[in-house]
Amino acid sequence: MASKCISFHLHLHPHPHLSLYSALPQNPKLSRHAPTSLFSAVKSATIKTSHYHIYQSFPKRCATLTPMASSGQPSVGAKFDEFEPDQTFTNDDLKPTTPSQRNFHWWEMASLWIGLVVGIPSYYMAGSLVDLGMAWWQGIATVVVANMILLVPLVLTGHPGTKYGISFPVLARSCFGIRGAHVPTLLRALVGCGWYGIESWIGGEAIFLLLPNSIKQSSFSQLLPWLGTSPLEFACFIAFWSVQLAVVWKGMEGIRDLEKYSAPILIILTSILLIWAYVKANGLGHMLSLSSRLSSPEFWSLFFPSLTANISFWATIALNIPDFTRFAKTQRDQIIGQAGLPIFMGAFTFVGLAVTSSTTAIFGQVISNPIQLLGRIGGFTTTILAILGISLATITTNIAANVVAPANALVNLSPSLFTFRRGALLTALLGIAFQPWRLLKSSESFVYTWLVGYSALLGPIGGIVLADYYLIRQTDLSIKDLYSSSPGGAYYYCGGFNLAAMAALVIGILPVIPGFLQKVGILSSVSDVFVVIYNNAWFFSCFSAGLLYWILASLRGKQNKSLPSDPLLPTKS
C-alpha cells in the first residue's frame, strides 16, 4: 500500500532456544513423534510431524516467531500450534511478517512519507488555497492542521500492523469478516488503480515536455485519433510505467530501498529549487505580501471544505498503512516515522507556494506547473535534474500510495491465484485500461473530483476498523482465526460476512452521495444539509459509521477476543 520474499519457513538460528528446528532430530526418518524439551522448566512437547513439514509449514511454527509489539523482540513460548489455515485465505504475501522481515526503522518510515509528500499534487496544495483567497500562511496552516488530524488515524491504524505483522486486507477480516473484507479492500484498490494510471501519465508527460523541441515536433508527436494521444506521448507514458513496474517487481524490499535512497535526493533538489527562486526573485517579498481576500465568515466557509479535501488527500493511505507498518521493527519506529507527515507537508507546500509566487517577479507571469517552470528555466543540467526530480517524486508517491494496496487486495481476493507481484502487475495494467490521457483531457475537474470524493467515501471503512480494533476488541486479535474459515472462528460471523459492519458502511456512505452527485454535476442542486455533509465527508462518514458499528457490534455481543493461549501470539510468562 507483500515483500520480496515473505515466508514463514523456519531457518537455522544461532540461538538454539529460539529455533524450533534445533529441537528436532536431524534425521526425520528416525521418528515421526519426536519428544523434545525447549526449556528445562517446560515439559516436553510432542511434535507429530516430519522435519520437512515443520520446515515448510506456516501454522506449525513456534510462537517465538511473533515479536512483541512493544519491543520488537521475539518472545519464546512453549506450545506448538496444530492449527491449519484455510489455503483460500493465505499465501506467503498474506502471512504475518517474521522478525527478520520487520526491518523498517523510523527513518525508513519517515522516508516513505517524504517520498509520498514530494510530488506534483502536493506542490499545488497551498497555492490552490491562496488562489481561492486565503493568505499564504492560512493556506499552509490549513494543510498542516489537516495532516495533524490525519496523523491520528494513521498511527492508530498502523498499530495492528506492527503488533501482529498483518496487512490491511487481513486486518479488515476482523471487523468485516473473512469474506466481507473483500468489500473494503476492493473499494480501496479501485481508487488506487485510477490514481496509478493518472500519476503514471503525469510522469510520462514530464518526460515528454522536457524532451528537445526537435523530437517533440517530429511526426511521432502527431495525434492518433484512435489512440487518443500521440505515439511519442504514449511511449513516454509506457517508459515511465515500465520503470515503476521494475521497482515494484522487487517487492516491499525494493519499495523500501527506493523510498530510503530517494528521500535525501528529493530534499536536496527541493532545496535547490527554493534557493533558485529566492535568488532570482530577490527574496520572498512577493509571497509574504499576499494577504487574505476573505472576510472572516468567508474564510471559515472555505476552511472546512479545504480541510476535508486535504485529509482526503491521504485518506486512502490511512486505511492501508498496516501494509507498511507490518514491516516496522517497533511501535516506536512506526509512530516517530509517521509523526513527520505534517512537517513534510507543510514544508513542501511552502516551497511550492514560494516558488510559484516568485515566478511573477522572474518571468512576469504566474507559473504554477513545476514541469512548465523547469522547461522555462532551460539548460541541459536543469533538464537532467528536472527529469530526475520529477520522476523520483512521482514514482515514490505512485508506488507507495497506489500500488501496494490494490496488489494486497487482489492477493486477499484469491491467494492461490495472486502473489504481490501478480497483483502489482494487474494494478499497472488496470492503470493503462483507465486511459488516463482521455480522462485528463476530457474533464480534468471531473476526474479529480471523482477520485477525491471517492477517497472521502472511504472514511466509514476507517471508522469501522478503528472502532472494532480499539473499542470492541481492545487491540486483541486472534491471528489463527484471521486465517480460518471455520464457522466457530471469531471472524466468521454470518457466512464470513459481518452484517453489522456492512450496515454501518452503507449507512455511513449514503448521506454523502447527494452532495457528491451535485459536485460532479449529475444533480443540479441538493439540500444545504447534504452540501455540508459532503464538504465534511471524511469527518461525517468516519465518525457516524464508527459509532453505528460500535453500537451494533456491542448489542450483538461481537466482542470476540483471542483465546488466552492463542498459539500464534507471544506467550506471556
pTM of the model: 0.77
- Residue 339: the pLDDT is 93
List Cα–Cα distances, 100 to 5, 6, 80, 572, in angstroms.
11, 10, 20, 21
Neighbours of 493 (CB within 10 A): 24
Percent of the chain at pLDDT exceeding 70:
80
Convert the pLDDT of each residue in 427-439 to its tens digit.
Answer: 999 999 988 888 7
Query: Which tops the pLDDT comparison, 460 or 92?
Result: 460
Query: What confidence tier does 49 reach under pLDDT thresholds 50, 70, 90?
Result: very low
Query: What confidence tier does 73 reach under pLDDT thresholds 50, 70, 90?
Result: very low
Percent of the chain at pLDDT exceeding 90:
35
- Residue 507: the pLDDT is 95
CA angle, corner 38, sides to 36 and 41, nearest 5?
110
List Cα–Cα distances, 325 to 25, 35, 343, 522, 548, in angstroms.
37, 38, 20, 39, 28
Helix (H, G, I), strand (E, B) or coil at 36: strand
- Residue 136: the pLDDT is 85
- Residue 13: the pLDDT is 40
Helix, strand, coil percent values for the chain (each to nearest 5): 65, 5, 30
In three-state form (DSSP H/G/I as H, E/B as E, the rest C), the secondary structure along 74-140 is ECCCCCECCCCCCHHHCCCCCCCCCHHHCCECHHHHHHHHHHHHCCHHHHHHHHHHHHCCCCHHHHH
Convert the pLDDT of each residue in 415-462 to its tens digit.
Answer: 888 898 999 999 999 999 988 888 776 545 655 677 667 777 789 999
Question: How far is Cα 105 from Cα 185, in angstroms, rounded to an integer?
Answer: 27
Cβ 399 vs Cβ 252: under 8 Å: no
Beta bridge partners of 62: 80
Convert the pLDDT of each residue in 157-216 to its tens digit.
Answer: 999 999 999 999 999 999 999 999 999 999 999 888 988 998 899 889 888 877 888 888
Question: How far is Cα 436 from Cα 394, in angstroms, rounded to an integer?
Answer: 15
Question: How far is Cα 358 from Cα 364, in angstroms, rounded to an integer?
Answer: 9
523 HSE (CA, 13 A, CB side): 12
User: Which stretches within 132-250 are classed as H helix?
Assistant: 136-164, 168-176, 182-209, 213-216, 231-248
Convert the pLDDT of each residue in 328-378 to its tens digit.
Answer: 999 999 999 999 999 999 999 999 888 888 888 888 887 877 878 887 887
- Residue 308: the pLDDT is 82
Question: How far is Cα 511 from Cα 495, in angstroms, rounded to an integer?
Answer: 28
- Residue 47, pLDDT > 70, answer no
Query: Which tops the pLDDT comparison, 318 or 123?
Result: 318
Domains and CATH numbers, the chain: 16-89 (no CATH), 101-441 (1.10.4160.10)
